[in-house]
């Protein structure tokens, strides 16, 4: 099945710094999704991308759908302590077919105040 | 926005008992829902696809008799962990797709601890 390679696995940054993480795939995706998971909670959708080259922002978060359709990145600007959590990229395993998702392994973000 | 409600958020049970977890889509209908299991510091592992009005589809290696799934209505799916054992202790999360946007919304998860 389709595999998503997400990096980095973890990041330790100071408050105020910018963060960047990315996902790559060997297969083409028609949709890229970015989720954040707080400890003990379910993932929350941050940004959904639907078109190659699309650049979408949600507050301090910006995500892009790579032109090749095989990659996506998520940037967080001016990080704050509440940005701590695990960030997952995801995409539909079989586009148009029952919405099953495949996930990256996640990026654990730690923000030092 | 679309919301998925999962209940209970935390359950402790004795070994050998069964536990039921509910997943509801609150403001949209979902003919399909998904159940995941997550181990500490790992990604989500898809267990099964819950199909309204028909049998669930289980991923390879998931015991269907251990993890019973019922999707009796367009807004409710349940996962029952039968004869639970300590190795079933985990974080279980459900999700429901919003078809119009090709995305999934997740419940808050259920922490199961089997003593």
A59: Cβ contacts below 8 Å, ≥ 6 apart: none
List the beta bridge partners of residue B24.
Answer: B5, B76
Chain A residue numbers with beta carbons less than 8 Å from the beta carbon of B93 are 42-43
Chain A closest-CA separation from residue B109 CA (Å)? 5
Do the Cβ atoms of B90 and B39 come closer than 8 Å?
Answer: yes
Chain A residue numbers with beta carbons less than 8 Å from the beta carbon of B95 are 42, 101
Q: What pLDDT is stored for residue B68 in this prediction? A: 97
Cα B3 → chain centroid: 15
Q: Is B30 on the interface with A (CB under 8 A)?
A: no
Q: What pLDDT is stored for residue A3 in this prediction? A: 76
Confidence category of residue A75, pLDDT binned at 50, 70, 90: very high
Of B32, B44, B106, which has the smallest distance from its Cβ to A98's Cβ? B32
Separation of alpha carbons A47 and A33, rounded Å: 6
> Which of B44, B48, B95 to mutate: most A Cβ within 10 Å?
B44
Of B34, B93, B105, which has the smallest distance from its Cβ to A45's Cβ? B105
Fill in the DSSP letter of residue A81.
Answer: G
Q: Do A43 and B93 touch (CB under 8 A)?
A: yes
Q: What pLDDT is stored for residue B103 in this prediction? A: 85
Chain A closest-CA separation from residue B107 CA (Å)? 6
A residues 18-77 closer than 8 Å to B (CB): 30-31, 33, 35, 40-45, 48, 50
Nearest chain A residue to B93, by CA: A42
Q: What is the mean pLDDT of chain A?
A: 92
Q: Is A85 on the interface with B (CB under 8 A)?
A: no
DSSP string, B26-37: SSS--SEEEEEE
Could you read off the pLDDT tens digit of each residue along chain B, which spans 115 residues? 568 999 999 999 999 999 999 999 998 899 999 999 999 888 899 999 999 988 999 999 999 999 999 998 999 999 999 999 999 999 999 999 887 677 889 999 999 999 9
């Amino acid at each position: 099945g389709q595999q998503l390679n997400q990096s980095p696995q973890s990041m330790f940054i100071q408050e105020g710094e910018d963060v960047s993480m990315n996902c790559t795939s060997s297969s083409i995706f028609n949709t890229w999704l970015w989720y954040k998971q707080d400890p003990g909670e379910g993932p929350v959708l941050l940004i959904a991308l639907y078109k190659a080259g699309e650049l979408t922002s949600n507050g301090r978060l910006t995500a892009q759908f790579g032109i090749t359709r095989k990659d996506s990145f998520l940037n967080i600007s001016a990080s704050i302590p509440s940005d701590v959590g695990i960030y997952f990229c995801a995409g539909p395993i079989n586009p148009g077919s029952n919405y099953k998702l495949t996930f990256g392994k996640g990026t654990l973000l730690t923000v030092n105040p | 926005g679309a919301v998925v409600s999962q209940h209970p958020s935390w359950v402790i049970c004795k070994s050998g008992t069964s536990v039921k977890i509910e997943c509801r889509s609150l403001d949209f209908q979902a003919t399909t829902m998904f159940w995941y299991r997550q181990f500490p510091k790992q990604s989500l592992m898809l267990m099964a696809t819950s199909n309204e009005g028909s049998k669930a589809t289980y991923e390879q290696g998931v015991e269907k008799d251990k993890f019973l799934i019922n999707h009796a209505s367009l807004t409710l799916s349940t996962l029952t962990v039968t004869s639970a054992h300590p190795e079933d202790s985990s974080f279980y999360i459900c999700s429901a797709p919003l078809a119009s946007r090709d995305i999934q919304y997740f419940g808050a998860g259920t922490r199961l601890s089997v003593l």
